[in-house]
Amino acid sequence: MNVFDYVNYWIAILLLIVGIYIVIARGNLVKKLVGLSIFQTSVYLIYISPGKIIGATAPIIAEGFELYSNPLPHVLILTAIVVGVATLALGLAIVVRINEAYGTIEEDEIHAQDQDPE
């Protein structure tokens, strides 16, 4: 197996791990959302990469075009991107409100504020 033949997938895995690591390791709420977005882009790669067939074109129904790459993953990923954007927007909105309520967007400071009046 030649590593470079599958470079897309290696990158996808890297993005996946990096994304989840950021979510877990960083305490800043916005950074967590960034990590989440990075994690989601790995999904895009996992879907789209196999769709591409070497030597194939877009599905054009005309003379001379026989081999088509799969267009379906692109459709699916467009949906997934939209979902990701919506989630990110909602997440950021919640972070804004958390900042209004707590005065900080650092996770440990928020926990500390929540523990005290318990």
Partner 1 sequence: MIAAHLPALQVVLPLIAAPVCVLLRRPLAAWLLALIATWASAAVAIALLLQVLEGGTISYMLGSWAAPWGIEYRVDIVNAFLLVLVSGIGSVVVLYARASVGYEIPVERQYLFWTAYLLCLAGLLGIAITGDGFNVFVFLEISSLGTYILIALGRDRRALVASYQYLIMGTIGATFIVIGVGLLYLLTGTLNLADLSSRIGSVSHPRPQLAALAFLTVGISLKLALFPLHLWLPNAYAYAPSAAAAFLSATATKVAVYLLLRFYFSVFGQSQVFAHLPLPEVLLVLSLAAMFVASTVAVFQRDVKRMFAYSSVAQIGYITLGASFVSLTGLTGGIVHLFNHAVAKGAIFLLLGCVALRMGQPTIERMAGLGKRMPWTTAGLTIGGLSLIGVPGTVGFVSKWYLVLAALERGWWWLAIAVLISSLIAVVYVWRLVEVCYFRDPSGHEDRVSEAPLSMLVPALLLAAACIFFGLYTSATVGTAAQAARSLLENLR
Q: Catalog residues that contact partner 1 under the rule CB under 8 A.
A: 20, 23, 29, 32-33, 36, 39-40, 43, 46-47, 50, 73, 76, 79-80, 83, 86-87, 90-91, 94-95, 97-98, 101-102, 110, 114
Q: How far is the CB of 64 from partner 1 (least distance, A)?
A: 25
CB of 4: closest distance to partner 1 in angstroms?
20
Give the residue with the Cβ less far from partner 1, 67 or 86: 86
In the complex, the smallest distance separating the C-beta of residue 19 from partner 1, rounded to whole angstroms, is 9
| 11 versus 98: smaller Cβ distance to partner 1 | 98
CA–CA dist 105, 29 (Å, integer)? 6
Question: Residue 7 is inside which H or E element, if any?
Answer: helix 7-25
Of the two residues 11 and 63, which places its CB atom closer to partner 1 in the complex? Answer: 11
Q: Is the dihedral of CA 72, 78, 81, 83 positive or negative?
A: negative
DSSP string, 26-80: --BHHHHHHHHHHHHHHHHHHHHHHH--TT-B----STT---B---HHHHHHHHH
CA–CA dist 4, 8 (Å, integer): 8
Nearer to partner 1, 7 or 72 (CB): 72
